[in-house]
Amino acid sequence: MFPILDITGTASERGRMHGALAKRQVERTIVNYRSLFEHCGIAWPEAQRLGGGYRDVIGDFAPTMLAEIEGIAAGAGRTVGEILALNARTEILPPTFPGKPSAEWLASRLGTPADFGECTAIAISPSRSANGETLLAQNWDWLGAQRDALVVLRIRGDEASSCLTLTEAGMLAKIGCNDRGFGVCLNILRSADDGAEPGVPVHVLLRALLDCGSVREALERLRAVRFGASSNVLCADRSGDSAALELSPAGLHVVRGNDGTLCHTNHFLSPEAQPDEVALPPSLSSVPRLACALRHAKSARTHDVGSLQRLLRNETDGLLSVCRHPDPSLPEEARIETVASVIMELAQGVMHLAPHIPTTVAYEALAVSPAAVLA
């Protein structure tokens, strides 16, 4: 299992605890992203300069988020610029990622288009859940080297909701749920204007959203926000409401599910957002992964944790399946795999976490409240 860090106190105190307790993992995150930025033609000093451009945006959006970032830097013995670069990594990476600097660069290296689609997420409403409670789940697909930098934060703040989040050390949040029955997943998207102007980084947004108690509250929080890059936040709450919040510098588009399920991968589903989608090396898996998730969603009258485990372990499309194994024929910077897999029972505040490719490990149950009894 990834290190589980109990973080408490004010925003600054939480950040310092995060940085100090996960110092080794923060250093690993920096090493990995320094290499990734350089692969994209962005030297580490330049990445830190670009990250610094998000400081005021973050501070204006949520001063506590900036205080927490500054605390992480102090606790880990790193500069604030380094931690800002990590939290803005999605916004700093070029919209043509993984190109260097063009979309054709890696394809020319490989002789074939590489698949950089990542993440399959699904929400199940109470009407389709075997126990009548909302489920939210995701495979997070990314570079396997980053697995060693992951931590689980169990956060109890002085001014916010308590939450549990799987994240990259040094970053405020990623996939998670809180004690109010609300949860978030993340799918990276890409549009032509990504990174053109600073906007609130998505990993900062995810941490802020984990203070919300409902999808409606999350939508209200995001209505006036300027986004620095494109992402989809698949969110749901204990009442059964769910939505795919497709964010881009052009604004916010909301996608709803039907028949009690909502699935998302790594392409825009909103027709209004699709014209701005960037032309990348063709993703060989985002569309079929979505089709697989939709088939699975329709395959049973009701779903439970076990049925979602079966979806997230699906390998029917080989190396391009919902459950992704690294392709050894590709160079290391192109080996996307399922780094971790998560299923959340939102009403219970419980996260079932597989800390590796889910076909190779068991899911373990964690709770927002460490005193909770896990069945």
Residue, of 84 and 267, whose pLDDT is higher: 84
Q: Which two tokens stand for residue 60?
A: 């204006």
Residues 100, 104, 110, 114, CA torsion sign: positive
Phi, psi of 49 (to 5 degrees): -65, -45
Query: Over the stretch 19-58, which tens digit does the pLDDT of each residue have?
Result: 999 999 999 999 999 998 888 889 999 999 999 999 999 9
282 within domain boundaries: yes
| Domain housing 120 | 111-367
- Given a cut of 60, whether residue 282 has pLDDT beyond it is no
212: domain CATH number is 3.60.60.10
* Residue with token string 């059964």: 240
The amino acid occupying position 233 is: V
Q: How far apart are CA 170 and CA 189, in angstroms?
A: 22
Q: How far apart are CA 86 and CA 37, in angstroms?
A: 11
Which of these ranges, 67-71, 149-153, 324-328, has the smallest mean pLDDT? 324-328
261 within domain boundaries: yes
What is the predicted pLDDT for the residue at 104? 46
Residues 355, 331 contacting (CB under 8 angstroms): no
Average pLDDT over residues 248-273: 91
Query: Over the stretch 91-108, which tens digit does the pLDDT of each residue have?
Result: 998 755 544 444 444 444
Coil/strand/helix, residue 151: strand
Residue 103: alpha-carbon gap to chain centroid: 23
Coil/strand/helix, residue 248: strand
Residue, of 106 and 114, whose pLDDT is higher: 114
What is the predicted pLDDT for the residue at 97? 54
Which of these ranges, 37-51, 199-213, 225-239, has the smallest mean pLDDT? 37-51
51 within domain boundaries: no
Residues 91, 195 contacting (CB under 8 angstroms): yes
The whole-chain average pLDDT of the chain stands at 89
> What is the Cβ-side half-sphere exposure of residue 100, based on CA atoms within 13 angstroms?
16
Query: Over the stretch 149-158, which tens digit does the pLDDT of each residue have?
Result: 999 999 997 6
Exposed/middle/buried for residue 51 (C-beta within 10 Å: 0-12, 13-18, 19+): buried
Query: How many structural domains compose the chain?
Result: 1
Q: Regarding beta strands 242-248 and 231-237, do their DSSP bridges make them parallel or antiparallel, or are they unpaired?
A: antiparallel
Rg (CA), the chain: 19
58 within domain boundaries: no
What is the predicted pLDDT for the residue at 279? 61
Residue, of 200 and 192, whose pLDDT is higher: 200
Q: Regarding beta strands 336-345 and 135-143, do their DSSP bridges make them parallel or antiparallel, or are they unpaired?
A: antiparallel
What is the predicted pLDDT for the residue at 327? 84
Alpha carbon distances (Å) from 59 to 66, 112, 204, 304: 5, 43, 11, 40
117 pLDDT tier (thresholds 50, 70, 90): low
What is the predicted pLDDT for the residue at 149? 97
193 within domain boundaries: yes
252 within domain boundaries: yes
- Given a cut of 90, whether residue 265 has pLDDT beyond it is yes
What DSSP designation does 168 have? E
